[in-house]
Structure 1
Amino acid sequence: MRIPIIAGNWKMHKTIDEAVQFVREIKDKVQGTDVEVVICAPFTLLLPLKEAAAGTNIKLGAQNMHWENQGAFTGEISPLMLKDIGIDYCIIGHSERRQYFGETDETVNKKIHSALNHGIKPIFCVGETLEERESGKTEEIVKNQIQKGLVNVTDEDVTKIVIAYEPVWAIGTGRTATPEQANEVIYQIRETIKELYGEGIYTEIRIQYGGSVKGSNAEEIMNQEDIDGALVGGASLLPDEFVQIVNF
């Protein structure tokens, strides 16, 4: 049985006071849910959020990390630093990291291995651009990202990964894939995992949808057969909206 996972991606938003207040507002409203609740916040917020979320069911994730444990990598954060404050998850390969900061399938693969080696669960993002979708290349692009991102990831480790399908054209645009379109691609992702890892594993992998998910469409999205959760952007900044999505 795959446990649904709703992860908020705060991107570059919120001060410490705002973040702590957010947790205070939602913690009682998401307690007792069957859904795994995760907040992926900027680095400066992670430790204050960890303290604010102590004793709740809210888990924390980073939005990026370097694959090396330490070194001359100015401006980067290592997996050891994240592990040191008890971070559970890390978003890896988000389209904004790929588009603006030079993330490649190869660096994604390095980060996935590093996260797994340190007990941090990757939220591994894949997705196509509007041009790629309109050219009929969605399946090819996403399959290629999955294959390259998971190079040398073992059968045991792959089940610790959450895959997030985020069509680039639906992120922050207000546009969203229909639940059926999202489920179709996520089914194809599951089939790719089946090809790579076999029958016994592909049913265990949790696959989220991300792309303008909000309270008003969360239930319809989550009711799709192959969708196990959501990676939520803008709507995760609003306490009531995020709670509505968690309690779909």
Structure 2
Amino acid sequence: MVSATREPATVLAARDLVFGYEPDVPVLRGVSVQLTAGELLVVLGPNGAGKSTLLRCLAGLARPWSGSVQLAGDPLAELAPRERARRMAVVPQGLQRVPQVTVDDFVTAGRYAHLPPFARRTQADRAAVRRAIEQVDLAGRERASLTALSGGQLQRALVARALAQEPDVLLVDEPTNSLDLSHQLDVFELIAGLTCTGHGVLVVTHDLNLASQFGTRLLLMNDGAASAEGAPSEVLRPEVLVPVYGKRLQFGQLPAPHGEGTRPWVLPWGH
């Protein structure tokens, strides 16, 4: 008897989200999202499309005017902040560096969701912090100040703090801003690797080519709504992107990572 293939669990789902920062001016207009365990979902779109606002609503940092967000089937609005933080972590854009804060101190902050008020760190907390630091290749830099880190190392520290929360879901906002090309690849390789341990990861980015190389599935947004969704080969097509970004684009194909056929590339190119 052949057993049925088990579908990946849905770890985060949003339905028909509507939200705005000013009355009667919606920034999100009926957006729905589903994220499964072991998936890297990349949210793309031009400036002002609503990408980061969507992430804020999914994280519970902004309350939608209408629609719903569920974390593994539980309404997000009904979860206490600590419970939410145990199950979902946010990696924000950038960070103001504080000279007195070390990498170890910073990553340890990710354990506060697991600690009662005023409690000391346990052996389990220290082990979780150590694992997170090792996972992002910052071992040996625990005592370094945040101000001593490069841009790529700082982004890794942000990911480590999120991993220390031991969440099932990670929401990552523009992780490659201000990084050079090599560090952009490093950071996306790190984030994509988290799906191998069963995390559901949603990343907001402007970079179509990193999205193509690493994304399991892409969600293209435009003017506060979902414009297209699917595999990179389905979304990164002229008939999909030109109406959103304009005609000054060039398209091609490159070998996919790990010998998985090809994946599309897209470049802005003036005529």
Quick check: which one's strand share is greater?
Answer: 2
Quick check: which one's helix share is greater?
Answer: 1
User: Does 1 or 2 have the higher relative contact order (CA < 8 Å, sep 6+)?
Assistant: 2
Shared fold, TM over 0.5: no
Which TM-score applies when normalising by structure 1?
Answer: 0.39
